[in-house]
Amino acid sequence: MLGMESEVPLGQPLRSSSGVSHGSASNLSLHSHGEANTLEFRIKAADKSGKKTISLWHDVTLVHVDPATDRPTPYLNFVCEIPKFSRKKYEIATDEVGNFIKQDEKKGVLREFKKGDIFFNYGCLPRTWEDPTFVHPDAEGCRGDNDPVDVCEIGSRIVGTGEIRPTKVLGILCMIDEGEADWKVVTIDAEDKWAPFLNDIDDVEKLLPGTLSAIREWFRTYKIPDGKPPNVFGLDEKFMDKHYALEIIKECNHAWKELITGEKERNLEQCDPEVRNLVRRLSKSNLVDLAINDDDDDDAPNF
């Protein structure tokens, strides 16, 4: 049972086009397809019957829903891609129909963190998108990175690839990755023993000293073994507080809705060709099985 929180729920979940939204992992199952350690390997989510494919990006709600009461909670759903103490670069395939999880590759070679194992659970927030046509005023003039918002979950549990967990938002870091804004939301599992004591980013620094600086240094240096320069950060390298983080999440949830309704693609005239192609590639792969109608607007998250 999740502990009671005084926070107000962030909003009501938006129904998926299939008529089924998943507010928690309670009715989902994970299935592996293909041989592990190959380019064809995928981790797919489905309903409990295993017959209906579920997109971990689109069909899981941003706001966690208590399966016992079917009511929104103060927590956000976290989809884990890379478990803590591992290094294989698993990620949601945003440009594939169904958005299964795959291991990232470059020129046909499967990617791992050459720096070594990551020390926190790493993944993303469903139903968010860092819009590559948008330049946030605090992002050093850089546009969004065309992916769901990244999450660093700092709890003690090792969360498996594809698992969904309710988490508390604590703060956010603005990383600039090769000229793109790449926000990193810091969260903790709602059932972690530290969760009752961590309510904002200052609590992390006070009660778990060194955690935030270690996260920042991980992201600063993890590409150096690949021969790339260190990453840099906006906002004077500061971790911003929970309120600021929720505003970024709100923007990215709105951007996600524009993407999957096709509104973003219909308004690309002012964008350069590279950005237009990025958005159109995502739109084509995701609108194949997504057709959210206007009746859903009243149920959109109301941050």
- Taking only the tens place, the pLDDT of each residue in 134-144 is 999 999 999 99
Query: What does the pLDDT read at residue 151?
Result: 98
In this prediction, residue 295 has a pLDDT band, given cuts at 50, 70 and 90, of very low
* Beta-bridge partners for 153: 121, 187
8 Å CB contact between 221 and 202: no
Query: What does the pLDDT read at residue 301?
Result: 38
Q: Is the pLDDT of residue 268 over 90?
A: no
Overall size of the chain counted in residues: 303
Q: Is the pLDDT of residue 264 over 90?
A: no
In this prediction, residue 65 has a pLDDT band, given cuts at 50, 70 and 90, of very high
Please give the share of the chain, as a percent, with pLDDT higher than 70: 84
Q: Is the pLDDT of residue 14 over 60?
A: no
In this prediction, residue 271 has a pLDDT band, given cuts at 50, 70 and 90, of confident
Record the tokens describing residue 118, joined without a space.
């990551």
In this prediction, residue 283 has a pLDDT band, given cuts at 50, 70 and 90, of low
Give the integer Cα–Cα distance in Å for 127 and 194.
27
On whether the pTM is more than 0.85, the answer is yes
